[in-house]
Amino acid sequence: MKIDHSLPLEYSTEENRLKILGFWIFLGAEIMLFATLFASYFTLYDRTGSGPTGAEIFHITPVLFETILLLTSSFTIGLGIHAMRLGRKKAMMGFFIVTLLLGLAFLGVEIFEFVTYVHEGAGIQTSAFTSILLTTLGTHGAHVTLGLFWGLYILIQVKRDGLTPETGNKSFIFSLYWHFLDVVWIFIFSFIYLKGMM
C-alpha cells in the first residue's frame, strides 16, 4: 500500500479514496431510499382509516429531545474527525464515545416514543398512515442502531491499532454516515412532525 502523506489520513491510499467515493455513491442510494419513504408518507399521511391522525399522536417534547441529541452528536463526531486529522487519538476516541452515547440516548427516546404510540392505539397495523409513519421512523431508527454497533467496532479498532490509514478511513466514512442520518432526521422533524402538528 502506497501512503500519500500529503493527503489527510482518510484519503492517503488508493484504496481509501475508492472507499470514500463508493460510500458517497452508497449515500446517493440511501437518499433515494429515504426519498421513496417520504414520497410514500406524503401519499398516505391523510389516509388514516379508523386510526388516529398525526396531530392526535405527535408530542413535541420527545421529538425536541431527539432532535437536540442527534444534532449534538453530529457536531461531536465532526470534532472527532477533526481530532483524528490532528492525530490526537485520545481526543478522537473521546468524541466518538460521546457521539455514540448521544446516539444511544436518541434511540432510547425513540423507543419510548414508539411505545407511547402503540399505547395510544397507533400500532404499525392500525392504518396506512401509522404503517408508513412507523416504517419511516423505524428505518431511520434501524440505521441509527446499526450505526451504534458500527461506531463501536471502529472505536475498538482505533484503540487496538491506533490511527492508521485504515482506521482513519473507516472513521471518516462512519462520520459521513452519521451526518447523513442527521440530515434525514431534519427532514423527518420538519416534514413529518412539524407539519403534522400544525
Q: Site residues (CB under 8 A) for other proteins?
A: 1, 17-19, 21-22, 25-26, 28-30, 32-33, 36-37, 40, 43-44, 47-51, 124-132, 135, 149-150, 153-154, 156-157
For other proteins, the closer CB: 7 or 60: 7
Q: How far is CA 49 from the centre of its chain?
A: 31
Helix ranges (H only) for the chain are 14-44, 54-57, 60-85, 89-119, 128-161, 165-187, 195-197
Distance in angstroms (rounded) separating the CA atoms of residues 65 and 93: 24
Distance in angstroms (rounded) separating the CA atoms of residues 175 and 181: 10
Helix axes 89-119, 60-85, angle to 10 degrees: 160
Q: How far is the CB of 176 from other proteins (least distance, A)?
A: 14
For other proteins, the closer CB: 40 or 72: 40
C-beta of residue 20 within 8 angstroms of C-beta of residue 175: no
Q: How far is the CB of 109 from other proteins (least distance, A)?
A: 24
Q: How far is the CB of 61 from other proteins (least distance, A)?
A: 27
∠ CA 89-11-91 to the nearest 5 degrees?
15
For other proteins, the closer CB: 51 or 80: 51
For other proteins, the closer CB: 18 or 197: 18
Q: How far is the CB of 179 from other proteins (least distance, A)?
A: 19
Q: How far is the CB of 65 from other proteins (least distance, A)?
A: 27
For other proteins, the closer CB: 19 or 143: 19
